Chain A
């Protein structure tokens, strides 16, 4: 048993998966992570995943875009090369609202998605760290660290009791590396 690194409980139904998480947690078995083919609402509260701060980041990226455009246009139209257009003010703010808005959105979107990719380690060519290949298809998977939780028989029993269709003992952390 000592070579086993992770115990994988593979469920066919999200409700049973939630039940499985409850069962494991009631028995003080720590869950490494859960992999699902779709988002499951309420699961993050159970596993203690904190609220995302990406919205705050998005706001600041957006405001950076706003300031960048207003500053850029000011420098171009007032400082660098002021043009007299029928005696109108050089810094004709209403005219610059559409482009300022566009740059706000552009910075916000790229900053937000960039932060998301960075915070969840997504980038082109990254080796996928998959514990069960069906977790992106039709299986809802709970991964338990086998070293931290010694009582493997109990984990097996709890997972199956909650409705797991299959319990696997992985000797490698990520099977996708094979």
Chain B
């Protein structure tokens, strides 16, 4: 591992001078081992207010039934499923970073996988609560499980994508949790061995007795690789099945074979946007600029361009097929989306998801932190509207014009949605305080090969191709955490 040097052409994954193994531990554990600062408290209190709103709105829904929402007999699914699909989609980036990028040996995942996986878990929690609360009688939620016949009248319908979805989401949640927690063990042990008193006792329990012996590490890596291997098809299957909730129905605008790949691309797209929204703030507030560098930000932005463009192509393909299929209902569903009463939602979706991410083709924009942060939020707004457009516009004008209706959300709809964002941030902020937000061990692994200081040594040793060296130094210009003066002399 540390025996060979990485090509100088690769940009550094850890910047800064005099980074040692001890410094990595200290930097990453800073928020865990110290009292939180003011920024954390402000964020936490605001999120907690949101989470309380969520508790209230969900309790209100449970108490009064889903009549509390703005649903009517034509639009029977609206903000609940929009919110569900939105959250599940956001979760996908965490698994993509932890699993797919591990299989592709993308070392830049090492410093973002931990918080992205945490985000996955919290997003899936938010999504799952929608599933339960939209059932109307949430105390019977266990009826979705394949329980034997004596229990009710029949088995669950194994042919139904909603049952598949139950399997997919619960598998996805539990496997993600397992993957995340196993990866956390060495880092919890690091906290344990530095702590004293009660903290030590608590972290001892949660560290499972991790020691870092040769065999544990070797098996750990084998387990991580296999989990990554099985999580990759899993994550693709989850959003595929979510899309089948729609695609297997006969509603115009839903009944299309393009849905699975289109939903998966959209999920990764929105997930990476959410990772950026969170991490750009985290790196600043927790001072992790040396570990989450401009290279990480730029790489994520590139994934956003790719997936955003796939989503754009899917939108256009849908339109083309609506016309080419010759089905008047299909054609009308799309005309109605573009120019019907929800035209503004359609065009908001088009602008936020297809047009604005194209700005990332400009290097100035994708390496600008403020622009990236704003665009990441724009993407998530767009992706929320995508689901809203798909769900509500396909339903609100059904086959019988006399039952055509509009959907108007009630305060409960709005509160459940806004509250779920509060819940998500509350969980995320608590995570930052009790667990390391970056995988300490994994960052240590790349210190000797992929850090700025190791590349600096290579440059100082000489023997490098002049052109490659020049290219490397030029690539450092975009980094906000690199001191340019030192390279000016070289």
A-B interaction? yes
Residues of A bordering B, CB below 8 Å: 12, 14-15, 33-44, 47, 49, 52, 54-55, 58, 62, 72-73, 76-77, 80-81, 83, 85, 92, 95-96, 98-99, 101-103, 105-106, 108-110, 112-113, 116-117, 119-131, 133-138, 176
* Distance A130 CA – B241 CA, assembled complex (angstroms): 45
Partner of B214, one of A44, A95, A121, A136: A44
- A135 and B212 in contact, given A37-B21, A102-B237 (Cβ under 8 angstroms): yes
List chain B positions with a Cβ less than 8 A from chain A.
1-3, 20-22, 25, 146, 148-149, 154-155, 158-159, 161, 163-164, 167-168, 171, 174-175, 178-179, 182, 185-186, 189-190, 192-194, 204-223, 226-227, 230-231, 233-234, 237, 240-241, 244, 440-442, 444-445, 448
- Assuming the contacts A39-B441, A109-B178, asked whether A101 and B216 have C-beta atoms less than 8 A apart, the reply is no
A35-B211, A73-B158, A124-B206 as given contacts; A109 in contact with B189, CB under 8 Å = no
Considering only CB atoms, which chain B residue lies closest to A36 in the complex? Answer: B212
Interfacial chain B residues near A103, Cβ < 8 Å: 167, 171
Q: Are A76 and B167 in contact (CB under 8 A)?
A: no
Kindly state the separation between the CA atoms of A102 and B166 in the bound complex, as whole angstroms: 10
A42 & B178 in contact (Cβ 8 Å cutoff): no
How near does chain A come to B91, taking the closest CB pair, in angstroms? 16
In whole angstroms, what is the CA distance A134 to B211 when docked?
11
A128 to chain B, nearest CB (A): 5
- The reply to whether A137 and B1 form a contact with Cβ atoms under 8 Å apart is no
The answer, among B22, B207, B223, B244, for a CB contact under 8 Å with A54, is B223
* B25 lies within 8 A of A138 (CB): yes
Could you write out 6 A-B pairs with CB less than 8 Å apart? A38-B441, A98-B241, A101-B233, A109-B178, A112-B223, A137-B22
**One of B21, B163, B210, B221 near A138 (C-beta < 8 A):** B21
Q: Give CA–CA (A116, B179) in the complex, Å.
A: 12
Residues in A with CB closer than 8 Å to B190 are: 37, 136-137
Is the pair A134, B204 in contact by a Cβ cutoff of 8 Å? Answer: no
| Complex alpha-carbon distance, A127 and B207, angstroms | 9
Contact call A54/B227, Cβ cutoff below 8 A:
no
Further 12 A-B residue pairs, CB within 8 A, beyond A113-B227, A125-B204: A34-B214, A35-B211, A40-B1, A55-B222, A73-B158, A98-B237, A98-B240, A99-B158, A109-B174, A120-B215, A123-B208, A135-B193
